Amino acid sequence: MVDFDEHIARALIARHAAREGPLLPILHDLQAEFGWIPEEAVRLVAHVLNLSRAEVHGVVSFYHDFRDAPEPRPVLKLCRAESCQARGADALAVHAEAVAGDRIAIETVYCLGLCSVGPNALTGRDHLHARLDAGAIDALVAAL
Ligand code: FES
């Protein structure tokens, strides 16, 4: 999780504000940047897009990808898209859940852009892990 920064949030919102259907791309960028979507960000998005805060909240709470509170645990994001799935990502996810217990949040993402070297995972904002196997998951979980 990163502390909320209004200047960064405004820049992320401005990146998509003029496009058609800007709300989801904006929320994805805010989620990626801060690890959750703080109330201040909801207020900004609503203001810029001329929506009510309730409308923005509704979208945030509808999609599992978006958090309205920070995840207190370390997060391991496992890719479950096609290429990684073909390389055993589903079994790896079951293993990761078992090893992580309640101490680490295991989340699913769909493609990290490293398809040829999967199964892959992401920790932190941009720490990519490739060619994962059960042993590598054990080491990652231990390190988080
Ligand atoms: S399918 Fe997993 S990185 Fe692309």
Answer for the pair 99, 143: CB distance below 8 angstroms, yes or no: no
Distance 109 CA to ligand 1 centre (A): 9
Distance 120 CA to ligand 1 centre (A): 7
Does the C-beta of 79 come closer than 6 Å to ligand 1?
Answer: yes
On the 0-12 / 13-18 / 19+ scale of CB atoms within 10 A, 107 is: middle
- DSSP β-bridge partners for residue 75: 105
Q: Give all domains of the chain, ordered by start, each with its CATH number.
A: 6-62 (1.10.10), 75-143 (3.40.30.10)
* Assigned token pair, 67: 């958090």
Model's pTM, two decimal places? Answer: 0.73
Which residues fall within 8 angstroms of residue 33, CB to CB, at 6 or more apart?
A: 2, 8, 9, 12, 125
Say how far apart CA 75 and CA 65 lie, in whole Å.
13
Per-residue pLDDT, 124: 84
Say how far apart CA 1 and CA 43 lie, in whole Å.
19
Distance 78 CA to ligand 1 centre (A): 9
Per-residue pLDDT, 32: 84
Residue (of 98, 81, 110) closest to 141 by Cα position: 98
The predicted-structure confidence for 71-124, as pLDDT tens digits, reads as follows 899 999 999 999 999 999 999 999 999 999 999 999 999 999 999 999 999 998
Does the C-beta of 83 come closer than 6 Å to ligand 1?
Answer: yes
Instruction: For the chain, give the mean pLDDT.
Output: 93
Residue (of 48, 45, 70) closest to 58 by Cα position: 45
Q: Are strands 75-79 and 105-109 parallel, antiparallel or unpaired?
A: parallel
Atom of ligand 1 nearest to the CA of 111: 4
- The DSSP-derived string for 56-124 is HHHHHHH-TT--SS---S-EEEEE-SHHHHHTTHHHHHHHHHHHHTTTSEEEEES--S-GGG-S-EEET
Distance 132 CA to ligand 1 centre (A): 12
